[in-house]
Structure 1
Amino acid sequence: MRVEPYAAMAPGGGTQRHQRVDGAARLACGPAGVADLYQRAPCRLLFPDVEPGEPLQAVSITTTGGLTGGDRIRVELAVAAGAAATLTTQAAERLYRVLPGDADIRIETAVTVGAGGWAEWLAQEAILFDATRARRSFDAEVAPTGRLLAVESLVFGRTAMGETLRSGRIHDSWRIRRDGRLVWVDALRLEGDIAAQMAAPFGFGDACSSATLLYVGTDAEAHLELARILVAGCEGGATSFDGLLVVRLLSADAAALRRTVMRLVAGLRAAAGGYAAAMPNVWHC
């Protein structure tokens, strides 16, 4: 994969090339632990110690400290039959302003879960800076008896610092397949005057943050009432169909949304997976 760098005029009339990143991380897990690992800067995976009975845990790090125009990263997690793994992120991902003429930021996540496997993708927030342009995708292939718990969040500007997202382009998509059959497709697209689109009655209202949680499993419907209890008091809702549990949340307080997401994920991983009702330690840093 080749990324065209941004070209700018350098002093003296020459052309200056801005370095862009094309990072990747790929982790395959079997019942005995890590089966295969590949990393390409700026993506890195770290493996903290976990409590007994917890799945193997990997923490994804982007060493650049954020992404801007032309940057690309791809993270892949493959959980074999009968295996279990948690992939989370070290901190919120910062998606900075993209310069005119530069390519969009691209973030791709792909998860595969084998028969009887358990996978968790617990991404911390992506913070969107004004004039960013980003395309983010999540694709999963889950075996009929596999289970997946995934969450992703967006924060539209650092409101605590007086920053807002006024313009840019955001394309956020999900695709879930079970036994090779496409069972769920979802996409959010905001472009141009994002502030006006979000403020519209059919948009986000006064919300400055959003989250989507997805649980895939044959027992998904059994956890619907628990999910609704865990998100009580937060704007949004939960539904279940075709072996899927989908929760959508909005909030005018990004910190409050984060607390709700943590409570929701902790409760569902305990109820559905039999694991501790707790988030990875990096979520508390």
Structure 2
Amino acid sequence: MLLAEPALLPSVSAHQRVNGATRIEFSATGGKTRLADLYQRAPCRVLFPDIDPGEPVQAVLLTTSGGLTGGDRLRVDFAAHAGARATLTSQAAEKIYRALPGDEPARIDVCITAGVGAHVEYLAQETILFDGARLRRQLDANLAPGACLLATESLVLGRRAMGESLRSGFIHDAWRIRRGGRLIFADALHLDGLHFDGSLAALRAAPFGFGATTAYATLIYAADDAPALLTPVRTRLDEAEVSTIVHATTREHLLILRLLADDAAELRQALIRAAGIVRSLAAGLSERLPQVWYC
């Protein structure tokens, strides 16, 4: 089925801004997953690398703009029909640069749809925020009964190795997951330095904030068997001696992992390990993530 072209949204900035979009649709026929439809609008591009035997079909998303700034927009629609098995990942870390005064936040919207019995992975690499960056990001997942979703998102609050720190800016990072049309998970991180003495650094360092942490990640596995994986995942993480702070919990149809680190590289390695463990226990897949994570 050919999907309709996403509408171009008017820019609120006086400067040229990107308005990229991609839609990727997979279907299953005879036990094999195949690409059913693809739409891409610059700066969004999708690559389809060769995969190892037994791995789901893989799509790699990249943006040719080299990063985003205030007023830029990206929308990703990722659909897997009944019985399909597919992985969507990103080619590299996404960079969010300083926004100009008066610009709206850069906006990233991801919509994931999984049909009955579909197995979907959304393995996004980290998003790096430069000082003065403004970002509004939302992930919406709509799962049919019997579908499985493994999803990751992470933020780096300034590149410590480069002597950078996120001292000002805006972040709104939200998740919504529905199963059979019912909302089962809603979560949002909201940081706005303008409403806390004008300093995002002060907000981050507050008792309810991040302290010395410069990077964090969320990993969610949504499936019927998700709660049963809590103890095995905790055991495997203990055996792996992951140094990064990792907390795991469950609720109905969900396994939720939060990762916090003082160093972005440490967070990345811990997330690779945690996602590998979950995909191995949940679907019998390799603990190795897509090759782009190791480039």
TM bucket (normalised to shorter chain) is over 0.9
Deviation at 1:69, TM superposition (A): 1.1
Deviation at 1:226, TM superposition (A): 2.8
Deviation at 1:224, TM superposition (A): 0.7
Deviation at 1:5, TM superposition (A): 5.3
In the TM superposition, 1:84-95 aligns within 5 A as: 84-95=85-96
* Partner SS for 1:6: coil
Deviation at 1:234, TM superposition (A): 2.3
CA distance in 1, matches of 2:173, 2:211: 19
Query: Are 1:215 and 2:225 matched, yes or no?
Result: no
Aligned to 2:200: 194
Query: Are 1:162 and 2:168 matched, yes or no?
Result: no
CA distance in 2, matches of 1:2, 1:230: 45
Aligned to 1:53: 54
Aligned to 1:129: 130
CA distance in 2, matches of 1:258, 1:66: 19
Moved more, 196-205 or 222-231: 222-231
**Does the aligned pair in 2 maintain the 1:5–1:20 contact within 8 Å?**
no
2:18 pairs with one of 21, 27, 40 = 21
1:240 pairs with one of 238, 243, 250 = 250
In the TM superposition, 1:36-75 aligns within 5 A as: 36-75=37-76
CA-based RMSD of the aligned residues comes to: 1.1
**Does the aligned pair in 2 maintain the 1:24–1:40 contact within 8 Å?**
yes
In the TM superposition, 1:139-150 aligns within 5 A as: 139-150=140-151
Deviation at 1:101, TM superposition (A): 1.4
Query: Are 1:275 and 2:276 matched, yes or no?
Result: no
CA distance in 1, matches of 2:43, 2:266: 30
Deviations 1:74-99 (A, max 9, x none): 01110111000000000000000000
CA distance in 2, matches of 1:63, 1:265: 27
CA distance in 2, matches of 1:230, 1:69: 41
Deviations 1:37-77 (A, max 9, x none): 00000000000000111100000000001001110000111
Deviation at 1:236, TM superposition (A): 3.3
In the TM superposition, 1:71-110 aligns within 5 A as: 71-110=72-111
Q: Normalization by structure 2: what TM-score?
A: 0.91
Deviation at 1:241, TM superposition (A): 1.0
Deviation at 1:221, TM superposition (A): 1.1
CA distance in 2, matches of 1:38, 1:68: 23
CA distance in 1, matches of 2:206, 2:237: 24
CA distance in 2, matches of 1:227, 1:188: 25
CA distance in 1, matches of 2:236, 2:90: 23
Q: What is the letter of the counterpart of residue 13 of structure 2?
A: Y
**Does the aligned pair in 2 maintain the 1:216–1:245 contact within 8 Å?**
yes
Deviation at 1:202, TM superposition (A): 1.6
Aligned to 1:175: 176
Moved more, 174-183 or 26-35: 26-35
CA distance in 2, matches of 1:126, 1:254: 10
CA distance in 1, matches of 2:47, 2:287: 22
Percent of aligned positions that are identical: 55
Deviation at 1:258, TM superposition (A): 0.5
Change (3 A) 1:244 1:135: same
**Does the aligned pair in 2 maintain the 1:3–1:70 contact within 8 Å?**
no
- Structure 2, gaps ≥5 residues long: 1-7, 194-198
Q: What is the letter of the counterpart of residue 56 of structure 1?
A: V
Deviation at 1:231, TM superposition (A): 4.2
- Structure 1, gaps ≥5 residues long: 8-17
Aligned to 2:120: 119
CA distance in 2, matches of 1:263, 1:68: 31
* Partner SS for 1:150: strand
Deviations 1:106-151 (A, max 9, x none): 0000101111110000000000001111100000001120000000
Deviation at 1:230, TM superposition (A): 4.4
Q: What is the letter of the counterpart of residue 212 of structure 1?
A: T
